[in-house]
Structure formats: C-alpha cells, structure tokens
C-alpha cells in the first residue's frame, strides 16, 4: 500500500472573510466555520480563537488535538467510519496543513484532561505548544451526560479539522513524502537479509471515557488485528478518550505516530517494517489474556524477528503491556516496550504497576509525577478553574496569582508513550 502525504507548511493563521491557504497562511472564515461545525443539539455555544507559539496563552482543559487533512486522491476520506465512509484508507494522496492544529476545549468532560501553555516552562513539555492552534471552545447544554458531552466535542473537533483541511485540497504541497508497505511475501522477498520488525500498537479502550476508534468502531470490541502502517497515517484511528493528559494519544498523535515514522525511516535500510498489530487495553483478566494471546500469535504468524510495543495510559494497562511483552518474547521475538513512569514525585517508587524479567528493553517517556510550577499567562482559553481536579492537579494547584503547581501528568503530551514528546530517561 502506497501513500503520498503532501505537506503544506502553515506559517500563520488569520481570521478573514474566506477560508483558504495562500502564501503559507491559513485564512479562516470564523462565522462559516462555526456554522459548519456547530449543528449539534448537545452544544449550546462555540467560540474559535487562535493561539500561536510563544504567546502568553494557556489552553485548558484540552480534550483533543487534531491535524487538518484532506483526502485528494484514492479510496476513502478523512476519518473513515466517523466522517467518511468505511472505505480502506492508507493509499493515494492526502494533503496535510502541517504546523496547524485544531484544539478542543470547554467545560470539562472527564477529570483527565490537560493543559497546553504556548510559552513558559510548560510549553517545553508539550509538543503542541509549537503549533499554530485553532482553539474551539465548545460548551455543552446544561445537564448533558458525560458520554454525550465527550462525543459532541469529539465530533466538533473532527468536523473542524475536515473543514480546514479542505482549504488545502487544491494547494500545491511544499513537500511530498511517500510511504509504502508491500505485501508480506513481497516484502520478505525484497529484503531477505533484513530483520522483520513489527509494531504492536496498544489502544486505550477501558471504557468510561477511555475509548479509541478504528474505522469508527470502538476498539474495545475488536480482537487484535493487522493494519498497514499507512492506514494509521491516513486517519484510520482516532481518539475518543479522556485519560491522563501526559500520556494520552490525541488524534494528532495517531496520524503522526513517532514510532511509525521512525520505523519507516529504517525500512529497507536496517529493518524490514512489515506492519502493525493493533490491540486493546482491557479491564477484565480474561479479556487481557485473550488480547495478549492473539497479539503474540500474530507476531509469530508474521514471522517477526523483533517487535516494538507501545501502551497508552498507565496503571491497569501496565498489565496488558507486560502480558504482551512476555508472550511475544515467548514466541522467540525480541521485544522493546515503550511506556512512561509513575515513580512518585521523588522518582523513587516502582515505575510500572506490573513487571517481568522479559521486559528488559524499555524506552520511557519520563516520570509523570514530576512537579512543575506554571507561571501566570496573560490569556486563558477554556476554564482554568478545573486544574485543581484534573489528573496531576490537587486542591490548591491553582494559585491566586494565576500560577499553577501540578504534576506534569496534567500537561498534554508531556510523557507520550509513542515518543511524541521531549522527555526520556537515560540508563547508566
């Protein structure tokens, strides 16, 4: 499967009377955009603002971050099974408004949403401070249930990304990158001397606002299966969860997964990147056993020499991570796990809730319990009063002068477990 991603580099975002991309600037007709995305009876008001890198702006509570894209050639459309039909994506041409993002906020949905500071020390922990953010504050109608609230805000974000993505449909990309994965037999024949490597992509699916969607299907209902890497790069997986901000995978991360991109960089040179196995993170032991059994079976079936396993979240999913690692290793496949740590504020506690001697190759995104003080910002988009109750915050986190003392758990993307961030740990 062959996918061309045409990157259109966005240098600035401005409001105007027409939505278009011209000279590297994304112009947005705010009224038209609100009309396009606002037809939901569960949302009573929508406001759109722009937050640029380096500005004294705080966005909280952040629900999702989404990259504007448009399918210009080939089967399927943007966000298949959600906004588009369920045609298989991952081939043809897709244009990307690179450097721009939709950020959704508003009244808190769950208690595990996050903070994005566009400047100051907090900005150094989140990759989303480097983007030109079109921030949508979507306020729910009174009395709306949390699951309905989450879905309404989620759909507003996807519609907004699709609306802005259309502005790039007929724009000549500044850069075109080509990604291709052959069928398994073709791949083995083409690179007979390279080790076969796969990626086991664990998706957050524990329910209670902990959901991820694959072609529109709640992934807790799936058994592990195989995807072309380009399907993920083309929007087949989207976020619908409200897990801790530091290590959740916003939709932006799914389509820009760092592990997928890095494996493609090595493909045909140092390794043979044969594909992706997606699996879920379950609540009950029997479901964990089933999914990890299937994951290990698929690794063996693909004839992998090595596998990289990333998780999303922490605590209960640590068990899924270790089960996957242990069983994949049991199939004779060398395994590396990618996670983050909850090692206490002093870093002295056990990092994961589960462990095994076979998990002897680990990449970490840092310690989410590290405490930071975020200085006051000139402008807040959203509702800063919720920082005392979001994961990583505590009673008194929000100070009278507008500064915030929190664990970096509260910062969106701070310890992302696909490596889409800035932190890691060096072993000695």
Tokens encoding 188? 């083995």
- Respond yes or no: is residue 299 known to be catalytic: no
Per-residue pLDDT, 311: 96
Per-residue pLDDT, 428: 53
Q: Let me know if residue 425 belongs to a domain.
A: no
Number of domains in the chain: 1
For residue 213, the surrounding DSSP H or E stretch is strand 212-214
**What are the Cα distances from residue 168, in Å, to 8, 159, 172, 395?**
7, 15, 8, 45
Contacts of 214 (CB under 8 A, 6+ apart): 81, 203, 222, 236, 237, 278
Tens-digit pLDDT profile for residues 276-285: 999 999 999 9
Tokens encoding 198? 């796969």
Per-residue pLDDT, 426: 66
Contacts of 183 (CB under 8 A, 6+ apart): none
Q: Let me know if residue 426 belongs to a domain.
A: no
Q: Let me know if residue 88 belongs to a domain.
A: yes
Per-residue pLDDT, 425: 67
Q: What SS3 state is found at 359?
A: coil
Q: What SS3 state is found at 184?
A: helix
Per-residue pLDDT, 136: 98
Among residues 242, 246, 299, 325, the one annotated as catalytic is: 242
Q: Let me know if residue 423 belongs to a domain.
A: no
Tokens encoding 286? 């029997």
Sign of CA dihedral 329, 204, 301, 91: negative
Q: Let me know if residue 422 belongs to a domain.
A: no
CA dihedral 157, 259, 168, 13 (to 10 degrees): 60
pTM of the model: 0.96
d(CA 330, CA 22): 54
Q: Let me know if residue 7 belongs to a domain.
A: yes
Q: Let me know if residue 393 belongs to a domain.
A: yes
Task: Show the domain range for 37.
Answer: 2-410
Contacts of 298 (CB under 8 A, 6+ apart): 224, 225, 226, 277
For β-strands 114-117 and 57-62, DSSP reports them as antiparallel
Regions of the chain where pLDDT drops below 70: 425-428
Sign of CA dihedral 344, 249, 421, 11: negative
Q: Let me know if residue 156 belongs to a domain.
A: yes
Per-residue pLDDT, 238: 97
DSSP3 helix / strand / coil % (the chain, rounded to 5): 25, 35, 40
């Amino acid at each position: 499967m062959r996918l061309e991603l045409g990157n259109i580099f966005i240098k600035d975002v401005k409001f105007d009377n027409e939505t278009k991309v011209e000279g590297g600037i994304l112009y947005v007709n705010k009224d038209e955009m609100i009309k396009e995305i606002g037809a939901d009876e569960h949302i009573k008001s929508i406001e759109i603002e722009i937050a640029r890198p380096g500005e004294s702006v705080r966005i909280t509570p952040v629900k999702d971050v989404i990259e504007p894209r448009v399918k210009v050639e080939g089967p399927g459309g943007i966000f298949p099974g959600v906004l588009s039909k369920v045609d298989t994506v991952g081939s043809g041409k897709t244009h990307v408004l690179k450097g721009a993002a939709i950020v959704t906020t508003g009244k808190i949905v769950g208690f595990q949403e996050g903070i994005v500071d566009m400047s100051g020390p907090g900005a150094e922990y989140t990759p989303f401070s480097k983007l030109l953010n079109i921030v949508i504050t979507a306020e729910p109608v009174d009395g709306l249930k949390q699951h309905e609230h989450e879905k309404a805000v989620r759909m507003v974000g996807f519609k907004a990304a699709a609306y802005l993505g259309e502005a790039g449909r007929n724009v000549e990309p500044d850069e075109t990158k080509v990604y291709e994965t052959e069928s398994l037999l073709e791949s083995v024949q083409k690179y007979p001397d390279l080790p076969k490597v796969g990626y086991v992509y664990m998706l957050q699916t524990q329910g209670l606002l902990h959901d991820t969607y694959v072609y529109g299907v709640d992934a807790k209902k799936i058994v592990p299966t195989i995807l072309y890497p380009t399907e993920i790069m083309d929007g087949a997986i989207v976020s619908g969860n409200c897990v801790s901000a530091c290590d959740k995978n916003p939709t932006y991360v799914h389509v820009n997964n760092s592990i997928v991109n890095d494996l493609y960089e090595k493909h045909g040179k140092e390794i043979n990147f044969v594909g992706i196995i997606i699996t879920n993170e379950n609540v009950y032991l029997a479901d964990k056993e089933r999914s990890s059994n299937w994951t290990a079976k698929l690794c063996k079936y693909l004839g992998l020499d090595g596998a990289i396993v990333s998780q999303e979240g922490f605590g209960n999913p640590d068990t899924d991570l270790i089960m996957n690692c242990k069983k994949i290793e049991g199939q004779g496949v060398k395994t590396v796990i990618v996670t983050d740590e909850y090692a206490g504020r002093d870093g002295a506690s056990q990092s994961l809730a589960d462990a095994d001697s076979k998990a002897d190759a680990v990449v970490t995104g840092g310690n989410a319990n590290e405490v930071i003080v975020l200085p006051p910002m000139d402008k807040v988009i959203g509702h800063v009063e919720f920082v005392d109750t979001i994961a990583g915050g505590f009673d008194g986190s929000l100070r009278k002068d507008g500064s915030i003392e929190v664990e970096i758990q509260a910062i969106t993307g701070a310890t992302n477990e696909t490596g889409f961030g800035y932190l890691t740990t060096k072993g000695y």
